[in-house]
Amino acid sequence: MQIPDVKQKWPNPINEVTIGATKEEGGTRSHTITVGGANSLPFLYFEGELPHPPVIALEVWDVAPKDWPEELAKYFSDVWDDAGKWAKKCVDEFGADLVCLRLQGCDPDGENKGSDEAAAAVKKVLESVSAPLIIFGCGSDEKDNEVFPACSQAAAGERCLLGSITEDNYKTLVALCKADRHKLIAESPVDINIAKQVNILATDIGLAPEDIVIYPTTGALGYGIEYVYSIMERGRIAGLSGDKMWAMPILGDIGKEVWKVKEAKALQKEVPEWGDHTQRGPLWEAITATVYLQAGSDILIMRHPKAVAETKKYIESLTG
């Protein structure tokens, strides 16, 4: 009996997005990182090509965190008062493919740092490491619009990945990315139609689809992860099927979500039946990461070095 060919062929590959610029390209990075390009669902090499494996960024703040648990502090507290040293440790010791600088110090409800201080943090990280850079704002639309012009200019030509835009706040960052040759993170609240709308709005005012990475927000293991997974998977299938507004690489902001849930950060003495928190926390982050890899994530932003190491092993086991 002849066995039918059940391999799925998709008509539209995912866009390739390149982050970082070398000296020859007008930047100062030692190398670039390209994500996307797949014409098949994640890790199904027998069906198509997946030319660029997923990559991992370790998170760095422009201020010392006040609420990170001890399990993270023991790796970073010696450097987290200096964004440059922190970034260097992430790359040199923990093997980060990229650095994600989060401008948490600009939060109006926190230290409320200004644009000059934010730009100085960007410059310090760029001078300290040669890896490509992601720059995330503090999450306040008004404050991000205030500080990002200086940050974008400080990194002009470096082809950073800036984040993020929403359907209510996109014009400033789109203009900056076009002027200073950066890429852009498009954020949506776990809604496939809103994700498309954000991309439509950005491209309607001149941003190329190839300059966009989709961020459909994320949740930790046990905290809505199955819903986020389904949105990511539906979006990736739509992109492969020909929907140009979903044919972009996907980013997952993992560490931020995982390390605020009790299952990851609760100490063993607080909940003895949950076991060793020094193992449980990193595993919670690593398992969350692997779920999003299977959904189609191309870039993961993480925090714990052990979780990063385990996730890298997982990627290598599937990509060879």
pLDDT tens for each residue of 25-48? 999 999 999 999 999 999 999 999
Average pLDDT, the chain: 96
Q: Is residue 300, in this structure, part of any structural domain at all? A: yes
Q: Is residue 285, in this structure, part of any structural domain at all? A: yes
Local confidence band at 287 (pLDDT 50, 70, 90 cut-offs):
very high
Is the pLDDT at 3 greater than 80, yes or no? no
Q: According to the model, what pLDDT value does residue 2 have?
A: 66
Q: Is residue 275, in this structure, part of any structural domain at all? A: yes
Q: Is residue 167, in this structure, part of any structural domain at all? A: no
Q: Is residue 312, in this structure, part of any structural domain at all? A: yes
Q: According to the model, what pLDDT value does residue 1 have?
A: 63
Report the sign of the C-alpha dihedral through residues 192, 194, 195, 196, in that order. Answer: positive
Q: What is the count of structural domains for the chain?
A: 1
Q: Is residue 139, in this structure, part of any structural domain at all? A: no
Q: According to the model, what pLDDT value does residue 266 have?
A: 94
pLDDT tens digits for range 201-232: 999 999 999 999 999 999 999 999 999 999 99
Query: Distance (Å, rounded) from C-alpha 23 to C-alpha 1?
Result: 59
Is the pLDDT at 275 greater than 80, yes or no? yes
Local confidence band at 7 (pLDDT 50, 70, 90 cut-offs):
confident
* DSSP letters spanning the chain: -PPP------SSPPPEEEE---GGGTS--S--EEEE--SSSTT-TTTS---S--EEEEEEESS--SS--HHHHHHHTTTTT-HHHHHHHHHHTT--SEEEEE-GGG-TTTT---HHHHHHHHHHHHHH--S-EEEE--S-HHHHHHHHHHHHHHTTTS--EEEEEBTTB-HHHHHHHHHHT-EEEEE-SS-HHHHHHHHHHHHHTT--GGGEEEE-----TTTTHHHHHHHHHHHHHHHHHT-GGG-S-EEEEHHHHHTTSHHHH--TTTSGGG--HHHHHHHHHHHHHHHHHHHTEEEEEE--HHHHHHHHHHHHHHH-
pLDDT tens digits for range 122-138: 999 999 999 999 999 99
pLDDT tens digits for range 45-97: 999 999 999 999 999 999 999 999 999 999 999 999 999 999 999 999 999 99
Is the pLDDT at 300 greater than 70, yes or no? yes
Q: According to the model, what pLDDT value does residue 320 have?
A: 77
Residue 145's alpha-carbon distances to 142, 193, 317, in angstroms, are 5, 25, 41
Q: Is residue 304, in this structure, part of any structural domain at all? A: yes
Is the pLDDT at 303 greater than 80, yes or no? yes
Q: What is the mean pLDDT of residues 104-117?
A: 97
Q: Is residue 302, in this structure, part of any structural domain at all? A: yes
pTM across the whole model: 0.96
Domain that holds residue 234: 218-320
Query: Distance (Å, rounded) from C-alpha 104 to C-alpha 245?
Result: 30
Residue 275's alpha-carbon distances to 71, 245, 270, 306, in angstroms, are 14, 44, 10, 17
Q: What is the mean pLDDT of residues 185-202?
A: 96
